[in-house]
Amino acid sequence: MPNSSLAAWLYPYTNAYMDLPVRSLSIVERVRIAIDVATALDYLHYHGSTPIVHCDIKPSNILLDDSMSAHVGDFGLARFLVPSNMLPSQSLTSTGEIKGSIGYIPPEYGMGGPPSLEGDVYSYGILLLEMFTGVSPTNERLRDGVSIHKHVEMAFPHQVMDIIDRNLFSADVETNMHASENVCDCLVSIIQCGLWCSKESPKERITIQDAVKLLNLVLKKLLTHNR
């Protein structure tokens, strides 16, 4: 893809992306990318003849085209959710291996649970929190068993602005968006969406369809503010 991956934009100074001339992503760009990824997952989960679980949502698997639209790539771990009574003895939803990347794997997969729509939602929630805090779920700052979900949850809602990625504001400095109460409200809504998606219990997570609706409302609010 012409604009590499989301990882290159979130972490431009890591060795893997040193040769890429990357600037900081603005809040509107990040919300658009988040919506693109959620929409792709919505399609995989609900709009085919058989639901597909991606199993490896993370920044390096989110590819950006020349217009900065996001595309979900790398389906090497993807699974069809075929009803168990239709599967042969060697099930596609076998629980013999962990599906995903460290930091993005839902807790239930680590305990032998099968791939699920809720598992993708969890990974997406972690991605969303990472996009707006600038903190990777494997960051050294997260110690003593504190996950990125817990790290963000402890700041929510009153200290949310203290954990937001500072680069986000430098990208929007020309419009002075960082001083806007409206933008702060939007960031709180985005973080809340990420927390809802990455709940420890699969039953407590919202669906990816809910995430699409919430983030589209945030985007509409941001664009209305910028007119």
Residues with catalytic roles: 56
Please tell me what DSSP assigns to residue 5. B
112: left (phi over 0), alpha (psi -120 to 50) or beta: left
* Closest of 188, 207, 187 to residue 197, by C-alpha: 207
CA distances from 26 to 30, 173, 175 (A): 6, 9, 11
Angle at alpha carbon of residue 173, lines to 178 and 163, rounded to 5°: 40
Enter the tokens of residue 173: 């400095």
Radius of gyration of the chain, Cα coordinates, nearest whole angstrom: 18
Answer whether 39's CB lies under 8 Å from 101's CB.
no
